[in-house]
Chains A and B, each alone.
Chain A
């Protein structure tokens, strides 16, 4: 069977659903957009109508300040688009509100994953394996060198370093949406109940997570406290603030970064990271390949990341696949 449907087309600025004249995660303003999750490279402002999970819409409202044209769809819920297309939002396990979007049209089934992972995450429900004809998968960590260790090991590394030097703080660079809250929730799960200090840019997103029922414990703003109070504590900031002047207000910080890229030494060095923490909200190589095997689509479309290697794996395993050249997806900070 050749899975090449005339009604859905990858274009440079997003995936176009022709009969419904709608786009998934369009990189520029569209009349009708379906958004997989709230990261800025997927959820852009300025669309006429936006279909997304309530959590994703709340994140977009926080970022862009508007709810015009918002159409919430919960996990497992379907909506009918124009032209006989039905869209169902399924958990993707990436960040709060992240969804895979299942599109059905005249018996054809297409899933667009957005970003996803297969590891447990206390801040969002796990990825659901769903059968389909075309599986549009991300490939951010689509190289066999990428292996994300169990998060408990990395959190343990962080806590040991914190305990080793009570005069210093450990400053963790973490993406403001998703990674930061997951690191905090995992620290809590590991029994770390000390206050955690936040860079100002993290605050609103953490509050939003708390409003959606994610337990993050006591959070404090760095700007409200004196340097001495932060000794021996965890401080979380966006990756861009790691080597910024901002960090001078901290007590001799050990620079850490929570990211799947930390698996590669030179990536950590490029960021001047002393304590690399391999923590990612994306699927690693084993998860990507296992997911394709489990979903078992007639064809996989591979997007934003290291498409070539996953494409090669599909060839070696006699699976039909093609790489999409979508623009505008950033992967630098995860």
Chain B
């Protein structure tokens, strides 16, 4: 565990991507099986130990530390695992030497909800503060140290000098500690057999378009639909729906999984039927279906889902990814008649004379189911990740409103101990006639580190009330808030909920009473 803890700490403090890659690659090369496999799983997808949850850690700490001191500490540190690792009382004499990663995993697997209260403390006693941090992170399944699965795969590829695309491909079919993956990469064994498994293939992603014009002879345009990007896979007689992160969400959308009967891998946007352009509802409707493990008949009837297809990756065992986009598109169009039309349709190509014409189309698309445009190079192969020059996303300009800072809360992670989560409000009438501010949203990004330090100081110097980690400010600061859309909401007193709000500018030049009124925001609703 010490080596793994040292790796975790080094990753926390290393800024550069190359530095992180080198650290992980080095660890993978010099660590034996199965420790390195477990470590890799812990760093990326996370391990699940049903007996150990964040609540378990809190309960253990409450037996050892005064609850008020625990809360104040947790609030300052911004991370439960780290707080617990720092507050854990050091035993006079460790009961045994530190365990290896695989011994740790074995012990954690063997724990039950009853035995955990005795066994986990014994394990924690064997480690120092850094080891305890790594253990708790590993045990509770959320590292959150900025290591994406992609980064770990690139590091794996570097460690053993194998192609990263192959690592991606094999990885998804395997369970930790990935013995066949290491056997293949480190010992030259044949690659794991994946052909007949319904596996996730890494998505191709787009760069934001930045103030340049593209030649429409080279690039085709489609709408960027405001649902969730999904990949549909059918292989070996089974169908799966994967989210952008590769999570299997077939359980939440059984009607989609059932509707795909042809062995294929498809890329598209999951949407819910509604009254908007092209028959899609706003994202708000789709949210009703997200994150549900079981779906009732009523949900299926009220919010029927369908997939608007963008691309075709694999068809009946043939890998189409190396082909140009135009060719894949042709094959996708030909496939459409074999797919049930109630569940699948085709994302249509947006035709324009030239780039200026396209710009007008984009600006006039005030449909809530449209986020903007996608521009795809006509000859682009389908490649994992963001490859420069192939695909661009061109989002609609955001909506803007001026709102007043009302409450600030300390953030977590990188922003811990800074007042970085801001609740802001709009006036419910004329502020000169005694109107009140009503909270309309909350944002915790959009500002620079320098602005954050300024805002933190502002909050501390303009506090009128404290409620635990929350400070109420004197309502003197105006934010220009950008957001993608606004919806009716019964959960908020203001009756509105913003989608994706962020601080676009700090308006120190604007007095609070000149901030926008809530009617302005309500007028932007397009449910």
Contacts and interface: CB of A to CB of B under 8 A. Distances in A.
Interface in B73-128: 73, 76-79, 82-83, 86-87
What range describes how many residues of B lie at the interface? 20 to 34
Contacts of B73: 143-145, 309
A306 B76 contact: yes
A312 B69 contact: yes
Given A312-B66, A312-B69, A266 B417 contact: yes
Given A145-B83, A145-B86, A147-B86, A274 B14 contact: yes
B82 A264 contact: yes
Contact of A273 (B13, B79, B415): B13
Given A145-B86, A263-B86, A264-B82, A269 B13 contact: yes
Contacts of A308: 72
A270 B66 contact: no
A143 B15 contact: no
A269 B449 CA distance: 12
Contact of A269 (B69, B72, B77, B414): B414
Nearest to B83: A145
Interface string A264-281: 111111101111100000
Nearest to B13: A274
Interface string A121-153: 000000000000000000000011101000000
B416 A312 contact: no
Nearest to A309: B72
Nearest to A265: B12
Interface in A228-275: 263-270, 272-275
B68 interface: yes
Contacts of A306: 72, 76
Interface in A138-179: 143-145, 147
Contacts of A274: 13-15
A145 B417 CA distance: 14
Contacts of A143: 69, 72-73, 76
Q: Which secondary structure dominates where chain B touches chain A? A: helix
Contacts of A276: 13
A266 B66 contact: no
A145 B15 CA distance: 25
A144 B71 CA distance: 11
A38 B21 CA distance: 45
A144 B87 contact: yes
Nearest to B19: A274
Contact of A270 (B14, B79, B82, B414): B414
A331 to B, nearest CB: 11
Contacts of B413: 266
A312 B72 contact: yes
Contacts of A267: 416-417
Nearest to B67: A312
Interface string A211-224: 00000000000000
B86 A312 contact: no
A313 interface: yes
A2 interface: no
A106 interface: no
A264 B76 contact: yes
A266 B87 CA distance: 16
Interface string B43-59: 00000000000000000
Interface in B1-50: 9, 12-15
The listed residue with most B CB atoms (<10 A of its CB), out of A266, A274, A275, is A266
Interface in A299-324: 306, 308-309, 312-313, 316
A266 B72 contact: no
Interface of B: 9, 12-15, 65-66, 68-69, 72-73, 76-79, 82-83, 86-87, 133, 413-418, 449
8 contacts: A143-B72, A264-B76, A264-B417, A266-B82, A270-B418, A273-B13, A312-B72, A313-B69
